[in-house]
Every structure is written in structure tokens, then in C-alpha cells.
Amino acid sequence: MDWKDTISHLYERYAGQGGGTAAAPADPHQDFQQVAQAAPKDVVAGGLSQAMRSDQTPPFPEIVSRLFSHSDPNQRAGLINRLMDAIGGPQTLASLPGLGGLAGMLRGGNVTAEQANQIDPNQVQQMAAHAETRNPAVVDHVSGFYAQHPQAVKALGGMALTIALQHILRRS
């Protein structure tokens, strides 16, 4: 059975006639989990990317901070490593206002779960802002990462998940 068949009952709600304008549920978290389990990860990543770029959701740095706060230690480390790559590594991080001290802690290469737990969500928000400015593709990298960890994505909230679902189901 094709993944689209598995979630066909959601199509009208999010991507049907009228462009998905049918009343979406008050809590799309369960629908997103179902779609994230059925759909290919690149399709899920595309939906998340659309939600993170939408003018109907908070700015990307705020979204990243929220995701960081609701992630487990290993997910936090994975997120920080993606942001560090987009920024250009610890040397570049050291030159950014307010993040120099963080650069010293993260100098050793890949960030560990233990190190990630010592980072404040506000610092992550600052990192995300710099990363997005330096490398706009970081949105796609973060989306791809969280497509692999859909349980943490509920932190995005209902509007963002609805946007992601609309995009995913329109691709089906």
C-alpha cells in the first residue's frame, strides 16, 4: 500500500478542494504524527520547511529555540551541530555578539548531548538567526533533521503543523 493511501482520509481536511480550507482540527498533532510515519522523510521535511518559512508562523530563530527546548539531549546536539555548520564553526561563532563564550565550550568539534544541555534556548535562537542570515538553506537542514524526529515537532504548534500538513498532502 502506498503511503498516500494510508493517509487519504486526511487529504480533504488539509489539501482537498478549496486548497485545504476545510476546518482543520483544533489539534493537528495526531494527524501530523500519522503523516510523518507514513510519508517519505523528504516529503515531511518539505512540509516542515514550508511551515518554518511561512509568514503565519513565528520567525525561524524562534521556531528553532522552541524545538530545542522540546527536544531530548541527542536531538539538541544534532540541532546545534547543524546550526554550527551553517554558521561556519566555532571560530565564526566566537566572533558573533553574545555567543563568544559558547564558542569556547563548543570548540571540540561535534557537540555532545551533555554540552547541548548546557546551552540556553536564547543562545540557540541567536545562533539560528545568524545561521539563517549566513546560510538560508539551514531552514531545510533543520527541517530534514526534525523530519527524522517528528515527536519533537509538536512544539511548533497547531498552525505550523497545519501548514506542514497542507504542503505534504498537496504533494501527494
Question: Residues 59-72: pLDDT tens digits?
Answer: 999 999 999 999 99
What's the mean pLDDT in 25-52? 89
- Tell me whether residue 171 is in a domain: yes
**Model confidence at 19: pLDDT above 60:** no
Structural domain boundaries, residue 133: 48-172
Least confident range of 50-54, 74-78, 86-90? 86-90
> 3-class DSSP state for residue 30?
helix
pTM of model > 0.85: yes
Instruction: Please tell me the number of Cα atoms within 13 Å of 20 on its side-chain side.
Output: 18
- Tell me whether residue 10 is in a domain: no
* DSSP 8-state secondary structure symbol assigned to residue 60: H
**Model confidence at 17: pLDDT above 50:** no
The pLDDT assigned to 88 comes to 87
CA 74 to chain centre: 15
- Tell me whether residue 67 is in a domain: yes
- Tell me whether residue 158 is in a domain: yes
- Tell me whether residue 21 is in a domain: no
**Model confidence at 74: pLDDT above 50:** yes
Number of domains forming the structure of the chain:
1
- Tell me whether residue 90 is in a domain: yes
